[in-house]
Homo-oligomer: A and B are copies of this chain.
């Protein structure tokens, strides 16, 4: 399976990387009405939304900065030599338009948008947005049954509610997803959890439904290779979602996020953990919580899109086989 040259990104040898309208990874931009959208295998989608944020806002600006930073991504993976854009048809599908002043309206708009992608057979690679973004995406992707999930994060996002009963925030999406039957908790692994906590309510819930939580101390003690072997075993061969909160990474490497926690992995490990998912049956993936107003050097966005390229390589290899 090879891709149509129409879907190849612009090369930096032809047009310098600082030039041109910045689409994701310099891919063609295919808005909903575009005639060739039905040919897309993997669609990169922005969800510029942060209404679920309980502390420092900003991820609504994430997709645009991620597009800008993504112009640094070249055609070939540095280690595997894979050239994903030549294996399957990739495209920038544009952004889902959220309603910044209405959470329920936004949840509905996002799910509707992803329902269309699922119907068109497009595997979505999402650039958030805060972590509440994962919930409406999962609602579309799990129409045929609960999914497994690998979560890289410093928080479980499994809380029941905030501020006296508010159910939809960026601290609750996976509680809702389990309650709604979108995730199979036995096939969910959360990696990198750390930081001070209010209490253990989230961890107690995880334990009660069978979600595997790997705190950062265990991650550092065992090493990424060993931890990811367990993760692969947990999710198995069934359909799986990959969710990556950039605050998984240590804030020295990824300062541009709203709720950083200290003591996380470095940038080498941040890439490595995704590489270790080679072969996992990914039906979708997201990169969330990149907050440009707190990313003065732009390095957070560059790391985040580099991780997205790792995700894309795995998804492309799988679809090419498929």
Contact = CB atoms under 8 A, between A and B. Distances in A.
A79 B98 CA distance: 31
Given A21-B94, A101-B163, A250-B267, A58 B260 contact: no
Interface in A134-153: none
Contacts of A81: 200
A101 B101 contact: no
B78 A16 contact: no
A154 B209 CA distance: 45
A301 B74 CA distance: 28
A109 B194 CA distance: 33
Contacts of A260: 299, 302
A306 B264 CA distance: 14
Interface residues of A, number: 94
A91 to B, nearest CB: 12
Contacts of A302: 251, 260, 262
A318 B155 CA distance: 29
- Number of identical monomers bound together in the oligomeric complex: 6
Contact of A255 (B48, B259, B299): B299
A311 B18 CA distance: 25
Majority SS at the chain A contact face:
loop
A297 B294 contact: yes
Contact of A15 (B58, B95, B266, B297): B95
B75 A198 contact: yes
A152 to B, nearest CB: 15
Interface of A: 11-23, 29, 46, 48, 50-58, 60-61, 63-64, 67-68, 72-79, 81, 92, 94-95, 97-103, 105, 162-164, 166, 168-169, 193-200, 215-217, 220, 250-253, 255, 259-260, 262-264, 266-268, 270-272, 293-294, 296-297, 299, 302-303, 306, 309
